[in-house]
Amino acid sequence: MANFDLSGKTALVTGASSGLGRSFAKTLSGAGANVILAARRVEQLQALRQEIEAGGGRAEIVKMDVTSDASIEAAFEQAWQLMGPVQIIVNNAGVAATKRMLDKDEGEWRRVLDTNLIGAANVARAAAQRLVDAKLSRGSIINIASILGLQSALGVAIYAASKAALLSLTKSLALEWGRKGIRVNAIAPGYVKTDLSKEFFDRKAEKLIDQIPLKKFVDPSDLDGPLLLLASDASSWMTGSTLVVDAGHSLVFEA
């Protein structure tokens, strides 16, 4: 189990102010990592930092808007000053869109793609550049995608497209950065009930649960194992991989 130990490593989690990001930060801290909590709404990170510190961990807060290159660069510079090299990146920040395609407009396309795809790409690039410049030979970038990047569903065209592109980006960056010692993998969760997905669940929960082989939705804690695997040396020879955690939903996908 020593391979799963993250002691002495620093992890940065984007979108850490709520939902999966909050859960990921606590899980990484529990495995020994020092954690940088990154989000636009920094005031919502204070309670999480206190919770991590009360459990014996260390956490720092940086303000980051993943749709702004300047904000990303400033956040990484601050993170480096606070905790040194960031070896683990969890690209979790994301936004949803649940309207039919004919109801969408250009602004919504931009909002989703700028956050879910371009933002994730720019965060990954900023992290990798610093690792390369510092001549550090190990790094793990974990992109949080979705089974909607693997399957089709009604009413989520833009969101699904952004996550499918993120999975493709994961493979491309894994290929490009592998020889630099930077691994890039993804987790594709099934439907997780968070603040981001509440509206969707309220409309479709009863129908969806009947489709899922294991008869459950994904709980944030169900992602702890995959997250720790990809963040740690236990996955030293994994890159370009996507771990699907969906209680079997994608096997019989219909929505």
Handedness of CA 64, 91, 127, 48 (dihedral sign): positive
Question: What distance lies between CA 218 and its chain's CA centroid?
Answer: 15
Spell out the residues 6+ positions from residue 72 whose beta carbon is closer than 8 angstroms to its own: 64, 65, 66, 119, 122, 123, 126
Burial of 133 (0-12, 13-18, 19+ CB in 10 A): exposed
Q: Would you please indicate which residues are annotated as catalytic (active-site) residues?
A: 159
Spell out the residues 6+ positions from residue 226 whose beta carbon is closer than 8 angstroms to its own: 187, 243, 245
